[in-house]
Amino acid sequence: MIPPGKTIGIIGGGQLGRMLALTARRMGYRIAVLDPELACPAGPVADLVLTAPFDDSKALRRLAEASDVVTYEFENIPAESLRQVASLRPVFPDPAVLHTCQHREREKQFLQSSGFPCPKFEVVASASDLGTALKKFSGKTRLKSSAFGYDGKGQLALEPGNDPETAWAQANIPRAILEEHVPFVRELSVLVARNAQGRSLAFPPLENRHTAGILERTVFPARLTDAVANDALALARRIADKLGLVGLLGVEMFELPEGKILVNELAPRVHNSGHLTVEACHTSQFEQQIRAVCGLPFGMVAPLCPAAMFNLLGDLWTKGEPDWSPVLALPGGVLHLYGKTQARPGRKMGHLTVRAPTPEDAIRLGTEALAPIRQSAGLPALAL
């Protein structure tokens, strides 16, 4: 067990690192952060900030020497960097878990070989491969970059009859998977924590909606039948066990019309859809991650109330800093801003969590509060 008072190292100083650090400080831990950006969001709340690339051997050694345990906030970190740190200090989740989950080919092959349900896919490394793969699908498909893909980046939707040469040139990626189009009823995520003794505990499923590949809104608890919710929870726990996870895992899923579940992606870290657990659960995803990697008992994950979370993207800053009065005046509303110095379209700058008696009330209240802010930025109102 690594008790409060010790130091947690975090590789990555973005908004997830910031929220991990804020939670850890409240629990009595010290924080060391490694990030390439001098003004990273986690910097102001860390005890030690190392500004260096993620493959800088000297910085990685300094982080390890300053920490009692090390974790990470996103997948685009060289697995070799984690292995270097792991030779000096415990790293959770294990570098082998990151190696599997950070690359779509390895991730899909892990799911398929382990018997976990996932969409049909083919590995593609050339226009010729794409042409061959397309013949194996009868309907729409999606071409996804094997590496460095997030928030819809590195993806291309294809229709039957699309020219593979043109599509491959447009995608402009070295390797990819071609995946079948999934006619889902809803997108789900399950956040499951697992400790070194093999005990796991999952938050109730969350219901997500994406726009242009970026998470727009999460509703909690997901509006599911008990049977589908139980299937999703059991599937996430089995995946965590198979990976030998120590830490937190976000399992993104599709619910199909007949109630079947398919696994979309895995994220061995705290997850964007879980931000609302800070206000909606006894224990947030950030605290549960810390508890898992430090060997502390898990906290309760039962919902305190229904909630909805809305991502706040840089598009809202088109005409300057938004006037947050409508959301700050909202009963049950909590505004989180990440302290990023530059707003860009599509960049996650913060989020709004709304608590309400029902999920539908939370959606409506958040949508109404954001409407004037979106209008001021020249953006359309969000759909309910």
Q: What is the CATH number of the domain that holds 47?
A: 3.40.50.20
* Domains of the chain: total: 3
Q: Are residues 84 and 143 in the same domain?
A: no
pLDDT digits (tens, 9 = 90+) for 281-306: 999 999 999 999 999 999 999 999 99
- Of 129, 148, 180, which marks where a domain is finished? 180
CATH number of the structural domain spanning residue 294: 3.30.470.20
Joined tokens for residue 275? 């931000």
How far is Cα of residue 45 from the mean position of the Cα atoms in its chain?
21
The DSSP-derived string for 225-282 is -HHHHHHHHHHHHHHHHHHT--EEEEEEEEE-TTS-EEEEEEESS--GGGTTHHHHBS
Q: Are residues 366 and 264 in the same domain?
A: yes
Q: Are residues 174 and 198 in the same domain?
A: no
In a domain, 132, yes or no: yes
- Of 50, 70, 91, which marks where a domain is finished? 91
Please say whether the beta carbons of 374 and 381 come within 8 A. Answer: yes
Q: Are residues 84 and 167 in the same domain?
A: no
- Of 180, 205, 220, which marks where a domain is finished? 180
Q: Are residues 205 and 238 in the same domain?
A: yes
Amino acid present at 332 = G
Q: Are residues 240 and 355 in the same domain?
A: yes
Taking the CB of residue 332, how many other CB atoms lie within 10 A of it? 18
In a domain, 110, yes or no: no
pTM: 0.95
Q: Are residues 26 and 153 in the same domain?
A: no
Per-residue pLDDT at 148: 74
Q: Are residues 162 and 241 in the same domain?
A: no
In a domain, 384, yes or no: no
| Closest by CA position to 21, among listed 53, 43, 5 | 43
Q: What are phi and psi of 174, to 5 degrees?
A: -75, -35
Joined tokens for residue 64? 């390890």
CATH number of the structural domain spanning residue 148: 3.30.1490.20
Per-residue pLDDT at 154: 78
Q: Are residues 234 and 165 in the same domain?
A: no
Q: Which residues contact 179 (CB under 8 A, 6 or more apart)?
A: 119, 120, 121, 141, 142, 143, 144
Taking the CB of residue 331, how many other CB atoms lie within 10 A of it? 8
pLDDT digits (tens, 9 = 90+) for 7-59: 999 999 999 999 999 999 999 999 999 999 999 999 999 999 999 999 999 99
Residue with tokens 């110095």: 341
In a domain, 99, yes or no: no
Q: Are residues 231 and 300 in the same domain?
A: yes
In a domain, 22, yes or no: yes
In a domain, 302, yes or no: yes
Query: Is the dihedral angle over the CA atoms 234, 236, 242, 245 positive or is it negative?
Result: negative
In a domain, 185, yes or no: no
Query: Is the dihedral angle over the CA atoms 142, 143, 149, 152 positive or is it negative?
Result: negative
Q: Which residues contact 166 (CB under 8 A, 6 or more apart)?
A: none
Q: Are residues 141 and 25 in the same domain?
A: no
| Cα dihedral 313, 21, 32, 69 in deg (nearest 10) | -120
Ranges of the chain whose pLDDT falls below 70: 149-152
Per-residue pLDDT at 151: 60
C-alpha to C-alpha distance for 273 and 8, rounded to whole angstroms = 23
Range of the domain at 218: 190-376
Q: Are residues 48 and 172 in the same domain?
A: no
In a domain, 290, yes or no: yes
